[in-house]
Amino acid sequence: MTEIMNYNVNEKGYYGEFGGAYIPEMLYPNVEELRQNYLKVMAEPEFQKEFDQLLKDYVGRPSPLYFAKRLSEKYNAKIYLKREDLNHTGAHKINNTIGQILMAKRLGKHRIIAETGAGQHGVATATVCALMGLECIVYMGEIDIKRQAPNVARMKMLGATVVPALSGSRTLKDATNEAIRDWINNPVDTHYIIGSAIGPHPYPDMVTKFQSVISEEIKWQLNEHEGRENPDYVVACIGGGSNAAGTYYHFLHEPDVNIIAVEAAGLGVDSGESAATSVLGKEGIIHGCKTLLMQTNDGQITEPYSISAGLDYPGVGPMHAHLCKTGRAEFMAITDDEAMKAGLKLCELEGIIPAIESSHALAIFEQKSFKPNDVVVVSLSGRGDKDLENYIEYFKI
Catalytic residues: 93, 115, 381
Stretch that binds other proteins, among 99-107, 108-116, 279-287, 362-370 (CB under 8 A): 279-287
Number of residues that bind other proteins (CB under 8 A): 35
Distance, CA of 129 to CA of 170 (rounded, Å): 25
Q: Which of 140, 276, 286, 307 binds other proteins (CB under 8 A)?
A: 286
The string of DSSP letters for 164-225 reads EE-STTSSHHHHHHHHHHHHHH-TTTEEEE--SS-SSTTHHHHHHHHHTHHHHHHHHHHHHH
> One-letter amino acid identity for 103?
M
Nearer to other proteins, 14 or 58 (CB): 14
Peptide bond preceding 62: is omega within 30 degrees of 0, i.e. cis?
A: yes
The reply on whether position 11 binds other proteins by CB under 8 A is: no
User: Which of 151, 196, 172 minimizes the C-alpha distance to 387?
Assistant: 151
Peptide bond preceding 354: is omega within 30 degrees of 0, i.e. cis?
A: no
**Which residue blocks in 15-148 are alpha helix, DSSP H?**
28-43, 45-54, 69-75, 93-106, 120-132, 142-147
Q: Which of 5, 16, 22, 74 binds other proteins (CB under 8 A)?
A: 22
Nearer to other proteins, 28 or 391 (CB): 28
Nearer to other proteins, 163 or 349 (CB): 163
Min separation Cβ 31 and other proteins, Å? 10
Nearer to other proteins, 14 or 47 (CB): 14
Nearer to other proteins, 115 or 387 (CB): 115
Distance, CA of 342 to CA of 81 (rounded, Å): 14
**198 contacts 315 by C-beta, under 8 angstroms:** yes
Q: Which residues pair with 285 in a beta bridge?
A: 290
Min separation Cβ 282 and other proteins, Å? 7
Strands 161-165 and 135-141: parallel
The reply on whether position 282 binds other proteins by CB under 8 A is: yes
Going residue by residue from 199 to 238, which x/- string records binding to other proteins, judged by CB under 8 A? Answer: ----------------------------------------
Q: Which of 199, 288, 304, 318 binds other proteins (CB under 8 A)?
A: 288
> Which residues, numbered 77-116, are part of the site for other proteins (CB under 8 A)?
none
Min separation Cβ 75 and other proteins, Å? 41
Distance, CA of 100 to CA of 226 (rounded, Å): 34
The reply on whether position 171 binds other proteins by CB under 8 A is: no
User: Which of 382, 393, 366 minimizes the C-alpha distance to 82?
Assistant: 382
Q: Which of 107, 184, 267, 279 binds other proteins (CB under 8 A)?
A: 184
Nearer to other proteins, 259 or 293 (CB): 293
Sites of contact with other proteins (CB under 8 A)? 20-26, 28-29, 167-168, 173-174, 177, 180-181, 184-188, 282-288, 295, 297-302
